[in-house]
């Protein structure tokens, strides 16, 4: 018989959801054993000095189900996610490593589709796969395939981004409409499908993000609102001691995504994105940052959605369309499993 204490000590799916349970896993288990100055920052990518060069390194595993979804597939997702993590620390992508775990019985046409998608998305992002590994496991052990991608980047000269650069009065900006990736994946999942034109926003953001930090010295922070969504980024800012106020009416979201989220009982702020970044920018450069984003095809719906304040203790708040306020928090666990 399993004791209650034994059950409590086991890993559950929600530990991988990007919410509070993920934070508990990282801070309670991983950092005490593997922590070091680079890892402890918990940035999208680590920045390292190697023979006088500033490099960025990141890695991510992809277990999305289904493998193909509106607007993309596991291959496009893997390239975009890794390139975007490099871009969030102000790095230009240089190369990718690709590891694939394939399940016995996988249709070769699916493998070909995913590999073609990796190749085309790599060309779009300006980066090649330069090394990799392939394993095959027994049927029933890999849900078709799992992918891990590792990215190497070159940090742009003079660029230093981080939560420690954020100041009261800074503007909070996003480069486009939210929640589309998580809802698009959900729309194709067995038993949860619904009629809509939702398409994943998965896209490589390095071109836009690199241009922003090259042109503006007032970019304080870039973050990738994937698992945990925009809410996760804002809650992390508050946890680091920076209060933020977000105007609900300013947050860009399509009518289709809003209706889908309402139908499913989801807060769009907590739904994953794969082609968006949240930027914290000096107030006096907010208009220029917005204009630069809107000049790029991946930033046409960019918007300033709020600001950093000096309120203490720090809190993230949403100014609702009906005149109220509510605290923005990370989801506790995983609302939408297998979305990345």
Question: pLDDT digits over 148-200, tens only?
Answer: 999 999 999 999 999 999 999 999 999 999 999 999 998 887 566 655 578 99
What local confidence, expressed as pLDDT, does residue 7 receive?
Answer: 42
What local confidence, expressed as pLDDT, does residue 193 receive?
Answer: 60
Contact 13, 218 (CB under 8 A): no
Mean pLDDT of the 248-275 span: 94
**Least trusted range by pLDDT, from 69-83, 117-131, 205-219, 323-337:** 323-337
Mean pLDDT of all residues belonging to the chain: 93
Tell me which of 3.30.2130.10, 3.90.226.10, 3.90.650.10, 3.40.50.1100 is the CATH number of domain 163-327.
Answer: 3.90.650.10
Asked if the domains 44-155 and 163-327 are classified in one and the same CATH topology, the answer is no
Q: Which residue is associated with the tokens 């993920």?
A: 22
Is the pLDDT at 4 greater than 70? The verdict is: no
**Least trusted range by pLDDT, from 84-98, 253-267, 280-294:** 253-267
In the chain, alpha helices (H)? 4-8, 20-25, 31-34, 37-40, 74-87, 108-125, 180-188, 206-215, 229-239, 255-264, 286-294
What local confidence, expressed as pLDDT, does residue 225 receive?
Answer: 97
Contact 194, 187 (CB under 8 A): yes
Q: For residue 339, what are the contacts with CB-CB under 8 A and spacing of at least 6?
A: 64, 181, 182, 185, 186, 227, 272
What local confidence, expressed as pLDDT, does residue 196 receive?
Answer: 59
Measure the CA–CA gap between 181 and 18, rounded to whole angstroms. Answer: 15
Measure the CA–CA gap between 340 and 69, rounded to whole angstroms. Answer: 11
User: pLDDT-derived band of residue 294, with 50, 70 and 90 as boundaries?
Assistant: very high
User: pLDDT-derived band of residue 15, with 50, 70 and 90 as boundaries?
Assistant: confident
pLDDT tens for 187-241 read: 887 566 655 578 999 999 999 999 999 999 999 999 999 989 999 999 999 999 9
Beta bridge partners of 135: 101
What local confidence, expressed as pLDDT, does residue 191 receive?
Answer: 60
What local confidence, expressed as pLDDT, does residue 157 receive?
Answer: 95
Mean pLDDT of the 77-96 span: 98
Region of residue 160 (phi > 0: left; psi between -120 and 50: alpha; otherwise: beta): beta
Q: Which residue is associated with the tokens 């933020």?
A: 244
Mean pLDDT of the 38-61 span: 92
What local confidence, expressed as pLDDT, does residue 172 receive?
Answer: 98
Query: Residue 337 burial (CB < 10 Å; 0-12/13-18/19+)?
Result: middle
pTM (predicted TM-score): 0.92
Is the pLDDT at 6 greater than 60? The verdict is: no
Q: For residue 332, what are the contacts with CB-CB under 8 A and spacing of at least 6?
A: 14, 19, 20, 21
Measure the CA–CA gap between 29 and 35, rounded to whole angstroms. Answer: 10
Is the pLDDT at 334 greater than 80? The verdict is: no
What local confidence, expressed as pLDDT, does residue 14 receive?
Answer: 80
Contact 58, 45 (CB under 8 A): yes
What local confidence, expressed as pLDDT, does residue 192 receive?
Answer: 60
The residue among 198 and 269 whose pLDDT is bigger is 269
What local confidence, expressed as pLDDT, does residue 186 receive?
Answer: 87
What local confidence, expressed as pLDDT, does residue 1 receive?
Answer: 43
Query: Residue 77 burial (CB < 10 Å; 0-12/13-18/19+)?
Result: buried
User: In this prediction, what percent of the chain has a pLDDT beyond 70?
Assistant: 94
Domain ranges of the chain: 1-35, 44-155, 163-327
Is the pLDDT at 300 greater than 50? The verdict is: yes
Q: Which architecture characterizes domain 44-155 according to CATH?
A: 2-Layer Sandwich (3.30)
**Least trusted range by pLDDT, from 43-47, 240-244, 309-313:** 43-47
In our burial notation (b when 16+ CB lie closer than 10 A, e otherwise), range 113-127 reads bbeebbeebbeebeb
């Amino acid at each position: 018989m399993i004791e209650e204490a034994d059950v409590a000590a086991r890993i559950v799916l929600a530990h991988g959801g990007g919410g509070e349970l993920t934070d508990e896993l990282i801070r309670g288990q991983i950092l005490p054993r593997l922590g070091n100055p680079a890892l402890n920052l918990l940035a999208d990518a680590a920045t390292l000095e190697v023979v006088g060069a500033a490099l960025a390194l990141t890695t991510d595993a992809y277990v999305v189900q289904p493998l193909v979804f509106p607007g993309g597939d596991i291959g496009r997702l893997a390239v975009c996610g890794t390139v975007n993590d490099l871009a969030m620390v102000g790095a230009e992508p240089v190369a990718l490593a690709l590891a694939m775990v394939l399940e016995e019985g996988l249709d070769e046409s699916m493998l070909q589709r995913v590999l073609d998608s990796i190749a085309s998305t790599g060309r779009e992002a300006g980066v090649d796969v330069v090394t990799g590994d392939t394993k095959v496991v027994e049927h029933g052990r890999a849900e078709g395939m799992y992918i891990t991608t590792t990215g190497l980047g070159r940090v742009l000269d003079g660029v230093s981004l981080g939560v420690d650069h954020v100041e009261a009065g800074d503007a909070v900006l996003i480069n486009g409409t939210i929640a589309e990736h998580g809802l698009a994946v959900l729309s194709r999942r067995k038993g949860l499908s619904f009629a809509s034109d939702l398409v994943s926003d998965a896209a490589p953001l390095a071109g836009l993000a690199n241009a922003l930090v090259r042109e503006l010295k007032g970019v304080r922070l870039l973050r990738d609102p994937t698992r945990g969504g925009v809410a996760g980024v804002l809650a992390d800012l508050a946890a680091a001691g920076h209060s933020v106020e977000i105007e609900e009416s300013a947050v860009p979201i399509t009518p289709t995504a809003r209706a889908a989220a309402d139908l499913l009982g989801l807060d769009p702020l907590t739904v994953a994105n794969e082609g968006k970044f949240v930027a914290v920018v000096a107030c006096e450069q907010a208009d220029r940052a917005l204009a630069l984003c809107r000049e790029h095809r991946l930033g046409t719906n960019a918007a300033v959605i709020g600001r950093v304040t000096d309120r203490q203790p720090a809190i993230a708040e949403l100014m609702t369309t009906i005149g109220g306020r509510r605290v923005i928090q990370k989801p506790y666990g995983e609302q939408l499993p297998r979305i990345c």
